[in-house]
Structure 1
Amino acid sequence: MQEHGGEGPVRLESGTPAFRRLNLALFAAGFATFAILYCVQPLLPVFSQDFGVSAAVSSLSLSLTTGMLAVAMLVTGSLSEIWGRKPLMVASLFSSALLTVVSAASPSWHMLLLTRLAIGATLSGLPAVAMAYVSEEVDARSIGLAMGLFIGGNAIGGLAGRVVAGALTDLVSWRFAIGVIGTLGLVAAVAAWRSLPPSRHFRPQRADPAGLLRSFAAHLRDPGLRALFAEAFLLMGAFVTFYNYLGYRLMAPPYRLSHTAIGAIFVVYLVGTFSSTFVGHLAGRLGRRRILWATILVMLAGLGVALTESLPPILVGVVAVTFGFFGAHSIASSWVGRRAREAKAQASALYLFAYYLGSSGIGTLGGVFWTAQGWPGVTALVATLLLAALGLAFRLMALPEGPDDEAGT
């Protein structure tokens, strides 16, 4: 990286070799994180059958992981302010991939849950730290693109984890499928380790627990950040609940789809790869507050279409929900990094705490709605969450601007 005379290292800009290496590393990291995290989602009906558990209990294989991830990120985000970004990110990827391989050999339901809980803890060293790394190292004009590519890696990883897990479960077994996902995670970890540029703008902080708590409190006093944290909770809760019980719906009559077919539905995650980058770039030009509400409306429209009984419209609805979610997440996550004036990893950790808390809590709550009222019950829950998120998006439009959160930044 070039240096400005007396001004320190320049920030990474799109079109440069360093930015391309960053993109590869972020894409690999996002891929591994979501493949490992969500590979169990299409397997929830299989766990119900093999271990004799209900839909809500089966969802714990995902909800416990995301719940632990949410809590642990509050710690690891703060630790990265002391230890540095890249070392924590790389250690997180390697340890999570290894634990995923181990989880494939779990002899009982409770052991599988314990292993998935541990994976939630080890994965916590990546998402919030990656958001802080991007906000520190990337030029303001390129942040939307960089974060969009990271979230695009999330989308491809979520796609690969679900499709591979579904297909290999039909062909061999769910244990073999999870073992393959862990191996792919190890390959992605190596790619991230070799390609991620070292931090140039990070300045380590002293270990100061009281100061860290004050930083958390400062973020929570900002009404804009509070609204963004709430958006994360609502949007992710809605999205995960929608996908968690879609598989149960499509395995039942009149559809009776196989595990492979249900896994293949997650190919629509490719739409998320496009929308996160496209919407992130659009928000950088037009302003985040002008775009966020529109992505939530797209999710609501898709949810309504997916309520029909015919399979083709259901798939159209899934595409719309996925497009809207990844676009909204791209906007909100990059907005947090720009709005927070300091301790950016902690601000990102709070955003992702809310994000994965929504996944964990609402994702399991959706099982109660599924058992009681089937897909209409799940749809009612998701619609309520999205309407609340839409109201918050309009509230964000009315709030005073933060120090760095206007259009083009």
Structure 2
Amino acid sequence: MTAAPELSGSPRSAVAPLEGHRPGSRAYRRTLLGLMAGGLANFSLLYYVQPLLPQVAAHYDVSAGASAQVLSVTTAAMAVALLAVGPVADRFGRVEVMRWSLLASGVLGLASAFAPTWGSLLVLRGLAGVALAGLPAVALAYLREEMHPGAHARANAAYIAGTAVGGAVGRLVPGPLAAIGGWPLATEVLGVTTLLAAGALWVLVPRPARFTPRPLRLASVVTGTASALRDPVVALLCAVGFASMGTFVGVYNAVAFRLEAPPFSLGSAVTLVYLAYPVGIVTPSVAQLLARRRGRGTAVVVGLLLLAAGVALTAPPSVTTVVLGLGVLTVGFFCAHSLVSGWAVDRAHRQGRGTAQASSAYLFAYYVGSAVMGAVTTHVWDGAGWGGVVAVSTATSAVAVAAAAGAARLDRRPAAQRGLVADR
């Protein structure tokens, strides 16, 4: 391949090497900066409503259990959209899909700040979920195609760190903004942030040099994700995504209501417990180091055991143990997710299957877990209190551990070993 990719908004760049962009190169740095900015905005816009659920419930006069729909409808819409995004990206290009995804989600995010009714808010949040699906569905596939093989794990960790920053921003920034101008002000700020990130991605991320468009067929939209699940390792990794994300979002959804209720009665100070979240920012790099030393499967299981331990630590009625538990839970979740998301794509690559479809399959399960368990856990809180939340979350953590152990065992078979060294 001799054609040089162009950096959008900049002069023609140097010819991309056939083996992909190496760490330290200009294209490598620009790509990671652009994708990290996109991941930050994408996930902050998705999750900023989580710490504001009590305020949203009061503003629209809905119950605690019903208020979780404002997050669940977005993640459910993302999950459905992910079924189509992979094939669409295969036809029109990874970068184009990511650009328009951020632009559309920023516009819809701004619009939701002015939603007059509960129903209109849910519609706008659902449409935003469809738009938000574009970036996470293809980012890892883009990195797999465009980065040097030896840089895949490092690039994946950097992107996941960007999403972790987005999650932290989405949980820490809305509280102070809502105290100034209500939850609509937080919505407006996050919408503008997403539009700025869209501009950064548009300018920084190079057009793909190693991408070959494929025809868009209806059958590929319908069956692309299902075909990825024919591989038992990918299917088990999807189960890990469902259960771990369900545990993570479920606990974070319910904890705001718990801490506003007696004996805590923290009021607006509830936001402070989300200071436990930023520890997830550095976790992907630590997880990659553990994976290189002990193996990817072992590192994922360790992360999921930490996830379960974090759930248990939140049980006592103490702000200290709740914050500590959330910190441990966050470390465990990002340790597992940063590895499993790349593992599913790598497995598909080694098996000669579509990497975008594998990424879409994993993220479909991941966001279905968020939508389902996020709603279930808030209803459990309404009916059974925090003891019920801990019981449900412990069960989903156990499912994740079992699925990860099964995936590691199957992926250690001799036929599956080829090509694994680069990401271990």
CA offset at residue 2 of structure 1? Answer: 6.0
Q: Is the 8 A contact 1:285 1:408 kept in 2?
A: no
Q: Is the 8 A contact 1:335 1:405 kept in 2?
A: no
CA offset at residue 305 of structure 1? Answer: 1.2
Give the structure-2-normalised TM-score.
Answer: 0.92
1:342 and 1:393 mapped to 2: Cα distance?
Answer: 20
CA offset at residue 211 of structure 1? Answer: 4.7
1:306 and 1:268 mapped to 2: Cα distance?
Answer: 12
Q: Is the 8 A contact 2:83 2:225 kept in 1?
A: no
1:56 and 1:147 mapped to 2: Cα distance?
Answer: 35
Across the two proteins, how many residue pairs are aligned to each other? 405
Partner of 1:74: 83
Identity %: 37
Give the one of 109, 122, 132 matched to 1:123.
132
Cα 1:107–1:64 shift into 2, 3 Å = same
Where structure 2 has 5 or more consecutive residues not aligned to the other structure, the ranges are 1-12
Amino acid at match of 2:391: A
Identify which range, 62-71 or 249-258, moves more after superposition: 249-258
Amino acid at match of 1:18: A
1:176 and 1:212 mapped to 2: Cα distance?
Answer: 37
1:160 and 1:224 mapped to 2: Cα distance?
Answer: 33
CA offset at residue 228 of structure 1? Answer: 0.4
SS at match of 2:42: helix
Where do residues 5-404 of structure 1 align in structure 2 (5 Å cutoff)?
A: 9-211=18-220, 213=222, 215-259=224-268, 261-284=269-292, 286-340=294-348, 341-401=352-412, 402=416
Q: Is the 8 A contact 1:22 1:196 kept in 2?
A: yes
SS at match of 2:134: coil
CA offset at residue 156 of structure 1? Answer: 1.1
Cα 1:393–1:85 shift into 2, 3 Å = same
Give the structure-1-normalised TM-score.
Answer: 0.95
Where structure 1 has 5 or more consecutive residues not aligned to the other structure, the ranges are none
Cα 1:153–1:316 shift into 2, 3 Å = same
Amino acid at match of 1:350: A
1:379 and 1:214 mapped to 2: Cα distance?
Answer: 36
Q: Is the 8 A contact 1:287 1:408 kept in 2?
A: no
Q: Is the 8 A contact 1:370 1:378 kept in 2?
A: yes
Report the RMSD for the aligned CA atoms in angstroms: 1.7
1:246 and 1:197 mapped to 2: Cα distance?
Answer: 41
**CA-to-aligned-CA distance 1:322-357 (integer Å, 9 cap, x gap):** 000011000100001111123211110110000000
Q: Is the 8 A contact 2:225 2:360 kept in 1?
A: no
Cα 1:185–1:137 shift into 2, 3 Å = same
